[in-house]
A and B are shown apart, each in its own frame.
Chain A
Amino acid sequence: MLTKIVRTVANQLILFILIFGLYVIAHGHLTPGGGFQGGAVVVSGIVMLLVAFNSKELKKSIRERVLSVMESTGALVFAALAFAGLGTVFFYNFLVGSPIFGDIPPTGPNPGNLWTGGYIPIMNYAVGLKVIAGLSAVVLALALFASGEEMEE
């Protein structure tokens, strides 16, 4: 555990890092970014918490079962959306024109509209969840192995 100044600053900064990571994930169909990049931003925030606090302290807050459920949910939602348009072709964008995320933007340069994109925003959320859960589990397991404990089964 580092000094009190580092712990206090880390406690205040983690909120802004999480909000920025979620912003990058949510606007993946309008700006550069998307699921993988936003997931990496959130995982870097968790690594900052791991450095400021002990890994044994963080193991009380992040349980392994929650991470496993999060990762599996992300993968299943991604595969379900891929299979849902199987009437035409595999990976068919069946939500364009429908009431959910269905607006079509005007061609050419325009300020972005959040309600566009078909199933691309939902896939961004699923992939972001998968990356967050997977990479934070790997980082937590490495830190716990180096300090001599084990992850709960």
Chain B
Amino acid sequence: MRESTGLGALIVLVGLLVVGMVAFIHPFGYPSPTAMDDYIIDNAQRETGSNSVVASVVFDYRGLDTLGEATILFTAVTGVLLLLRTTKRKKDSP
């Protein structure tokens, strides 16, 4: 019973994905016009002073996301180093 429900769910999901990619999405190479990206590409050199628009988006316009990502990296490294400790148990005499 579990195999057939899993197979049915997989076929429905992949069918929905393929139909969505073929019919319901914008044509590849012509996205809908956005005001935010045009503003960022035109004004990033003057406001942030760097040649790279992606670097100024990552560190200046959307810096809060980079702060959250640095926190996730720190938490994951702490978690891995916590799980991989093998401390020798000392035998205490009560």
Contacts and interface: CB of A to CB of B under 8 A. Distances in A.
Interface residues of B, number: 29
Contacts of B45: 104-105, 107
Q: Chain A interface: which size bin?
A: 35 or more
Given A75-B74, A127-B70, A120 B48 contact: yes
Interface string A73-99: 001001100100000001101001100
Interface string B68-91: 001001100100110011111000
Contact of A91 (B64, B80, B87, B88): B64
24 contacts: A30-B51, A31-B52, A34-B55, A34-B58, A71-B74, A78-B67, A82-B67, A90-B64, A93-B60, A96-B48, A101-B49, A104-B46, A105-B50, A117-B48, A118-B48, A118-B50, A118-B60, A119-B59, A120-B48, A124-B59, A127-B66, A127-B70, A142-B84, A150-B86
Interface in B13-70: 45-52, 54-56, 58-60, 63-64, 66-67, 70
Interface stretch (A5-13, A45-53, A130-138): A130-138
A93 B54 contact: no
B33 to A, nearest CB: 22
Contacts, number: 105
B25 to A, nearest CB: 27
B49 A118 contact: yes
Contacts of B60: 91, 93, 118, 120
Given A141-B80, A142-B84, A29 B46 contact: no
Nearest to B60: A93
Contacts of A142: 80, 84
Given A82-B67, A120-B60, A145-B84, A96 B74 contact: no
Contacts of A131: 73
A79 B63 CA distance: 11
B70 A78 contact: yes
Contacts of B85: 150-151, 153
A112 B45 CA distance: 12
A138 B77 contact: yes
Contacts of A149: 86
Contacts of A110: 51
